[in-house]
C-alpha cells in the first residue's frame, strides 16, 4: 500500500490568490464572475464550472458532487469527462471512496494511481476506469462541507503544491455561487409549492360536496407534483360518538398499480384541472385500502393510538419506527403494512376536525420534516374546505327540515281553515235545520196525516237527524282534540272494547282472535279516544264481513326501536279496493250509505295526537290490516 500525499487547507482566499500564479488565476476569476452573472440556475452554473476547471487545470475530467438536503450523501451533480448519464445517479456516503473521505474529513486528497488506491470506490456507469490520478478537494461554506470537486487524468500525475492550491482556491471561490444557486432553487421550490397550494385551494373551492372534496384533498396529498405521498387516508371526528371515523383512503393497492398510476400522473400538466376531475374519476374504483379505511373507527382516548393522539394533542407525528413505538396501535400497523408513516391534524378555529395519515409504502422514501410541514400547511386549507362543506350540508339539512315543517304547517293550516269553514257552515246550517226538524216534529204530532203524510214527515225528521249527526261529527273533528292522558295497559283496553262488541261480532258471524303480548309497556294515552279508534276500525271490519262471516285478529307487540306498542287489527273482508286506498284516511270520504266518512280520519288524528302512526297493510281479495304504532311518551304530552 502506497502512502498518499495529502494536505488539508482551511479558508484564506486572499492568501491563496497570492500564491496561485497570477496570470492563470485572473483568467479563472473573471470566468467565474461571468458564469455567476450568466445564470442563477445551479445546474448550468455547475456545468460551466466543471468545464472551466477541466480546461484551466489541464485535467481530462472534472466533476462536482454536492451534499444532499439531509447532509448524509454526496450526489454527482455535474461532470466534464465522465458519463453525463450518471449525474444524480452516483451517490456516495460521507467517508465512502476518495471523494466521500474528502467530504468527511474536509481535506484535500490526491491519489496518483486511484485504480490501486484501497480508498477508491469505482462506479462503472461513470466510465472512470480509464482515469488514473485523482485530485479531490472539499467545497467549504463557513465550517461546512457542501460538496466535493475533483479532477482526473488519464495518465498518471504527481500533483504539485501549485495544482492543489489552484483547485482549492477555485473551490473556495465557487462555494458562494453554489450556495446562492441552491437558495434560489429552494425559493423556487417554495414558490412552486405555494402555487400548488393555491391551485389546491382553488380546486377545493370548486365543490361543497364533502365526498368529492375529500377525494380532491387526498388526491392532492398523493399526486407527485403536489405533496407526493404514496398513500393517504382521512379520518374525521364524530363528536356524537367521540370517535375518529375513516372517511376515505387513497392509494394504489400494489406497487404495480402504483407505477401505472404514477405513469399517468406524470402526464398531468394542469394540476387544477386534474384535481377537479378527481371527484368522479377515481371514485369508480374502490381500492381495498379505501374499504379498510372506511371501516375503521378509533375512539378518541389517550390510549387508542397515534391517530387519536394527533387529534387530542393537535400536532403532527412523524413515526419512523412504528413497530417499536409504544404510541402506535399494532393492529392498525398490521393492516397498513408499513413501519413508518406520518399523521397531521386538520384544524380550523382551534377545533380539530380530523386527521390525515400518509405513508410511502411503495417507494420507501423517508418522510422528512419538510414534507410534514407542507402537509400541515395543506391540512389547514383542507380544514377550511371541509368546514365549509360541512356547514353547507348542515345548512341543506336544516333547509330540508324547514321545508318539511313548512309542508306540515301548510297541511295543518289547510286543516284548520277547513275546520273553521266547517264550523261556520255548521252553525249556519244548524239553525235552519233545527227549525225544519222542529216544525216537522210538530207537524207529525199536531196533524192527523194520512199514512203517506205521516211517512213523509217521518222521512223529513230522520233525514234532519242524519244531517244533525253529521254536523256534530264535523264540529268534533274540526275542534282541537284536547285529550286527557293516563297510564293504561293497551291489552286491558282491547279486552274492554271487544267485550262491549261481543254481541255484534256473534250476530255478524265474525270470530275474534286475540294475540296479545304480555311484554308491553303501559301507555300514556287518552283511553276514551283510543277506544274510539278501535271501535272505528272494528266497525269497518265487521261491516265488510257482515253476511259472509270472517276472522278479526287483534295483535299487540312491543314497538321496535323505542318503548311502545304496535297494535295490528286484521280482517278477512277482502281488503280495500286499490283505487280508494289513498283516500281512506281523508275526511268525509266514505263508501257507506250510513257513515259520515269521519271515522278513519278521526282515528288518524287521534293516533297522531298521541305521537303515533297508523297505516294499512292491504291484501286485495283477502283482507286488510290496520297497523297502529303508539310510542310510550309519559309526560311529553300535556293533558
Partner 1 sequence: MTRKKILVVDDEENIRILYSEELQDEGYDVITASNAEDADIKIKESNPDLITLDIKMPGMDGIELLRKLREYDKNIPIVMCSAYSDYKQDFRTWASEAYIIKSSDMLELKSTIREIFKKREVGKLGD
Residues that bind partner 1 (CB under 8 A): 423, 426-427, 430-442, 461, 464-465, 468, 475, 479
Instruction: Determine whether 309 is exposed, middle or buried from the number of CB atoms within 10 Å of its CB (0-12, 13-18, 19+).
Output: buried
Length in residues, the chain:
639
Q: Which is nearer to partner 1, 441 or 555 (CB)?
A: 441
Q: Which is nearer to partner 1, 13 or 427 (CB)?
A: 427
Strand order in the sheet with 91-93: 6-7, 108-111, 133-141, 144-153, 61-67, 73-80, 91-93
C-alpha–C-alpha distance, residues 518 and 556, integer Å = 9
Least gap, CB of 435 to partner 1 (angstroms): 4
Contacts for 117-124: CB closer than 8 Å, 24+ residues apart: 117/2, 117/4, 118/1, 119/4, 121/92, 121/96, 121/97, 123/86, 123/90
Q: Which is nearer to partner 1, 60 or 473 (CB)?
A: 473
Nearest Cα neighbor of 316 from 376, 246, 234 is 376
Query: Which residues lie below 8 Å from residue 144, measured CB to CB, with a gap of 6+?
Result: none
Q: Which is nearer to partner 1, 472 or 619 (CB)?
A: 472
Least gap, CB of 415 to partner 1 (angstroms): 17
Nearest Cα neighbor of 383 from 227, 250, 231, 200 is 200
Nearest Cα neighbor of 479 from 342, 609, 576 is 609
Q: Which is nearer to partner 1, 437 or 564 (CB)?
A: 437
Least gap, CB of 432 to partner 1 (angstroms): 7
Q: Which is nearer to partner 1, 426 or 541 (CB)?
A: 426
Q: Which is nearer to partner 1, 294 or 430 (CB)?
A: 430
Least gap, CB of 445 to partner 1 (angstroms): 9
C-alpha–C-alpha distance, residues 364 and 360, integer Å = 5
Least gap, CB of 462 to partner 1 (angstroms): 11
Least gap, CB of 454 to partner 1 (angstroms): 17
Is 217 within 8 Å of 204 (Cβ atoms)? yes
Is 469 within 8 Å of 437 (Cβ atoms)? no
DSSP 291-317: HHHHT-EEE-STTS-HHHHHHHHT--E
The number of CA neighbours under 13 Å toward the Cβ of 173 is 24
Least gap, CB of 393 to partner 1 (angstroms): 47
Least gap, CB of 464 to partner 1 (angstroms): 5
Q: Which is nearer to partner 1, 122 or 439 (CB)?
A: 439
Q: Which is nearer to partner 1, 130 or 472 (CB)?
A: 472
Q: Which is nearer to partner 1, 419 or 573 (CB)?
A: 419
> Which triple of cell numbers denotes residue 387?
368546514
Is 234 within 8 Å of 213 (Cβ atoms)? no
Q: 3-state SS string over 319-358?
A: ECCHHHCCCCCHHHHHHHCCCCEEEEEEEECCEEEEEEEE
Q: Which is nearer to partner 1, 262 or 588 (CB)?
A: 588
Instruction: Provide the angle, in degrees to the nearest 10, between the axes of the packed helices 161-205 and 369-446.
Output: 0
Which runs of E-coded beta strand occur in 61-181?
Answer: 61-67, 73-80, 91-93, 108-111, 133-141, 144-153
Least gap, CB of 438 to partner 1 (angstroms): 4
Nearest Cα neighbor of 351 from 215, 244, 237 is 237
Q: How far is CA 143 from CA 227, 257, 290, 508, 565, in A?
A: 33, 46, 49, 111, 85
Q: Which is nearer to partner 1, 338 or 423 (CB)?
A: 423
Q: Which is nearer to partner 1, 4 or 475 (CB)?
A: 475
Distance between terminal CA atoms of the chain?
109
Least gap, CB of 247 to partner 1 (angstroms): 57
Least gap, CB of 471 to partner 1 (angstroms): 8
C-alpha–C-alpha distance, residues 605 and 210, integer Å = 40
Is 576 within 8 Å of 568 (Cβ atoms)? no
Q: Which is nearer to partner 1, 373 or 476 (CB)?
A: 476
Least gap, CB of 312 to partner 1 (angstroms): 60
Helix, strand or coil, per DSSP, at residue 550: strand
DSSP β-bridge partners for residue 245 = 236, 297
Is 366 within 8 Å of 229 (Cβ atoms)? no
> Which triple of cell numbers denotes residue 267?
402526464
Amino acid at each position: 500500500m502506497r502512502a498518499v500525499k495529502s494536505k488539508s487547507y482551511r479558508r484564506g482566499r486572499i492568501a491563496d490568490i497570492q500564491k496561485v500564479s497570477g496570470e492563470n488565476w485572473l483568467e479563472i476569476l473573471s470566468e467565474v464572475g461571468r458564469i455567476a452573472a450568466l445564470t442563477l440556475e445551479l445546474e448550468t452554473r455547475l456545468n460551466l464550472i466543471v468545464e472551466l476547471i477541466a480546461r484551466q487545470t489541464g485535467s481530462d475530467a472534472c466533476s462536482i458532487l454536492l451534499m444532499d438536503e439531509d447532509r448524509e450523501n454526496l450526489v454527482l451533480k455535474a461532470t466534464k469527462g465522465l458519463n453525463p448519464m450518471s449525474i444524480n445517479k452516483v451517490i456516495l456516503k460521507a467517508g465512502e471512496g476518495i471523494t466521500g473521505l474528502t467530504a468527511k474529513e474536509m481535506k484535500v486528497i490526491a491519489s496518483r494511481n486511484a485504480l490501486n488506491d484501497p480508498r477508491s470506490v469505482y462506479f462503472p456507469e461513470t466510465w472512470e476506469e480509464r482515469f488514473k490520478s485523482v485530485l479531490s478537494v472539499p467545497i467549504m461554506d463557513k465550517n461546512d462541507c457542501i460538496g466535493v470537486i475533483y479532477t482526473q487524468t488519464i495518465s498518471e500525475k504527481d500533483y504539485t503544491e501549485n495544482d492543489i492550491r489552484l483547485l482549492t482556491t477555485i473551490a473556495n471561490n465557487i462555494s458562494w455561487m453554489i450556495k446562492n444557486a441552491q437558495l434560489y432553487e429552494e425559493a423556487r421550490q417554495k414558490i412552486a409549492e405555494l402555487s400548488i397550494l393555491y391551485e389546491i385551494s382553488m380546486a377545493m373551492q370548486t365543490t361543497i360536496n364533502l365526498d368529492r372534496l375529500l377525494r380532491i384533498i387526498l388526491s392532492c396529498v398523493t399526486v407527485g407534483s403536489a405533496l407526493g405521498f404514496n398513500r393517504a387516508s382521512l379520518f374525521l371526528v364524530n363528536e356524537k360518538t367521540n370517535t375518529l371515523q375513516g372517511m376515505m383512503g387513497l392509494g394504489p393497492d400494489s406497487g404495480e398499480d402504483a407505477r401505472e398510476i404514477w405513469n399517468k400522473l406524470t402526464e398531468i400538466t394542469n394540476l387544477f384541472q386534474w384535481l377537479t376531475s378527481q371527484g368522479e374519476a377515481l371514485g369508480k374504483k374502490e381500492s381495498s385500502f379505501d374499504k379498510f379505511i372506511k371501516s375503521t373507527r378509533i375512539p378518541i382516548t389517550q390510549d387508542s393510538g397515534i391517530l387519536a393522539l394527533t387529534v387530542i394533542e393537535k400536532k403532527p407525528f412523524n413515526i419512523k419506527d412504528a413497530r417499536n413505538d409504544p404510541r402506535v396501535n399494532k393492529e392498525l400497523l398490521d393492516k397498513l403494512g408499513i413501519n413508518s408513516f406520518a399523521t397531521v391534524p386538520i384544524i380550523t378555529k382551534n377545533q380539530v376536525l380530523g386527521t390525515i395519515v400518509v405513508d410511502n409504502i411503495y417507494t420507501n422514501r423517508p418522510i422528512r420534516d419538510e414534507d410534514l410541514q407542507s402537509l400541515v400547511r395543506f391540512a389547514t386549507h383542507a380544514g377550511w374546505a371541509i368546514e365549509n362543506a360541512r356547514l353547507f350540508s348542515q345548512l341543506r339539512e336544516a333547509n330540508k327540515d324547514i321545508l318539511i315543517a313548512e309542508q306540515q304547517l301548510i297541511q295543518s293550516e289547510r286543516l284548520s281553515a277547513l275546520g273553521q269553514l266547517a264550523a261556520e257552515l255548521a252553525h249556519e246550517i244548524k239553525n235552519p235545520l233545527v227549525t225544519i226538524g222542529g216544525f216537522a216534529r210538530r207537524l207529525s204530532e199536531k196533524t192527523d196525516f194520512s199514512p203517506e203524510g205521516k211517512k213523509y214527515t217521518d222521512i223529513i225528521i230522520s233525514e234532519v237527524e242524519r244531517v244533525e249527526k253529521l254536523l256534530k261529527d264535523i264540529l268534533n273533528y274540526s275542534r282541537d282534540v284536547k285529550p286527557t292522558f293516563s297510564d293504561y295497559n293497551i291489552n286491558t283496553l282491547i279486552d274492554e272494547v271487544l267485550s262491549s262488541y261481543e254481541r255484534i261480532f256473534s250476530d255478524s258471524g265474525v270470530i275474534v282472535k286475540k294475540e296479545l303480548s304480555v311484554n308491553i309497556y303501559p301507555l300514556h294515552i287518552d283511553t276514551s279516544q283510543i277506544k274510539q279508534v278501535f271501535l272505528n276500525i272494528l266497525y269497518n271490519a265487521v261491516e265488510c264481513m257482515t253476511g259472509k262471516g270472517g276472522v278479526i285478529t287483534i295483535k299487540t307487540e312491543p314497538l321496535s326501536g323505542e318503548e311502545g306498542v304496535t297494535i295490528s287489527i286484521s280482517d278477512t273482508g277482502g281488503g280495500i279496493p286499490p283505487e280508494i286506498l289513498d283516500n281512506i284516511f281523508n275526511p268525509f270520504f266514505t263508501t257507506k250509505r250510513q257513515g259520515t266518512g269521519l271515522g278513519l280520519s278521526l282515528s288518524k288524528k287521534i293516533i297522531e295526537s298521541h305521537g303515533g302512526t297508523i297505516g294499512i297493510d292491504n291484501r286485495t281479495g283477502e283482507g286488510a290490516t290496520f297497523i297502529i304504532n303508539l310510542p310510550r311518551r309519559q309526560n311529553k304530552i300535556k293533558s
